Amino acid sequence: MTLSRTFVAAVVGILSAATSANAITNGVGKLPVMGYNAWNAFACNVNETLIIQTAKYMTEYGLLNVGYNHVNLDDCWAMKNRSSTGEVMSDNIRFPSMNTLTDQLHALGFYAGIYSDSGWFTCAGYPGSFLHEEQDAMTFQSWGFDFLKYDNCAIPFDDIIQEGMIGKYQRMADALAAVAEKTGTTLIFSLCEWGWSQVWLWGAQISHSWRIDSDIGPQWNSISSIINSASFITQATNHYGHNDLDMLEIGNGDLTYDEAKTHFTAWALVKAPLLIGTNLATISQEMLSILKNQEIIAVNQDPIYGTSISPFRWGINPDWTYNATYPAQYWSGPSENGTVFMLINTLSEPANMFFNLTESPWIRAGIQYSVRDLWTHTDNGTAVRSFTAMNVPAHGVVALLLKEDGNEPVGLAPPCAGEALSQCTAENGTSYS
């Protein structure tokens, strides 16, 4: 469907508000988290042996070396009941000692992550942290964890919680701050509230990342739908606070190689967390090569520019069109090494993709640009005023890095490129429009 003017105005207002939110700068979480989460591959079928073996695979396959340095538990690690004094307890068969688990992960060079829920129970029916926030936060710290994913199931009745979504998550944010004050340990805090309550407006005030949509699936329609959602709220992301598009599905389901590349590129360039979610014992070299693209990862982990790339043209649809099947196609943003472009072919057949350079707000008029392809790892000549990517595969992606390469050739006509042509004027007042 096409958005109305009223809706577009509302979106612009939302984005403006998002950029003014104060990020939680408590010494951790400046860059998007990279690592592993077991849920997409194993759900509740996890134990200490599996987690440690996965960490060893990450080292063996070179994933740790390129930045994947977190190994995070998801749901189902706990006993079904708390102790007599209210402590949450790890499953005594599958996770007999959380301290042993985190010690092993730390010794291998990884940070360790754990999961809980803001309600009475987790999504799989294990104890949630409601009314036990500081007690659980202290437990997680004492076990040696560095990261907390916090879910949104089993919400208490209104007359009990008497909070909206912000207040429900603020409870754990306050608990983590209290534990940090007492112990000196600050955990990265990741909200999993599925995009409810316009989290992009307030998530950065209490956390380091926040889910923007419902759960991902290993199908193209899920990937394109999440990209569509992200396209309207890119300004919420910066250092210390990131839109979270959910865990990666690379290596799962029926995603083609090109779809998996698009999935990874979009997640990385919007500066979302990159959490691998497949069985590394069976991952193909083709999918592994996607996860290890260091030129794409470098943009995600940019220490200078924390902002997401954003659409400059929707492409198939008019700009600002909400369409989960055909999301925005033309994106760009600044990086420490130049201007990054992402082109997504949302069609089910190959297509050529053309853009004028100055459609991107980060490009200077009158300058030519060298072109680096971040997937072929090749330098592809110089772009003057425009660029065409030829024969982009169905559901495929092109990722480019453009760098200034001197003035454009003298005497190009018309004297102004792109939309500036409508107001292109000589010093003597002659119009060239």
Active site positions, annotated: 151, 215
φ, ψ of residue 343 to 5 degrees: the values are -115, 125
Question: Exposed/middle/buried for 81, CB within 10 Å: 0-12, 13-18, 19+?
Answer: exposed
Q: Helix and strand tally (H, E) in the chain?
A: 12, 16
Across 263-293, b (16+ Cβ under 10 Å) vs e yields bbbbbbbbbbbbbbbbebeebeeebbebbbb
Contact 254, 221 (CB under 8 A): no
d(C-alpha 309, C-alpha 325), whole Å: 20
Largest CA-CA distance found in the chain, in angstroms, rounded: 86
d(C-alpha 362, C-alpha 428), whole Å: 29
d(C-alpha 344, C-alpha 388), whole Å: 13
Question: Rounded to 5 degrees, what angle do the CA atoms 132, 138, 143 make?
Answer: 120
Nearest C-alpha neighbor of 269 from the set 303, 229, 310, 239: 310
**What SS3 state is found at 121?**
strand
Q: Which helix (H) or strand (E) holds 230?
A: helix 220-231
d(C-alpha 383, C-alpha 412), whole Å: 14
Contact 168, 175 (CB under 8 A): no
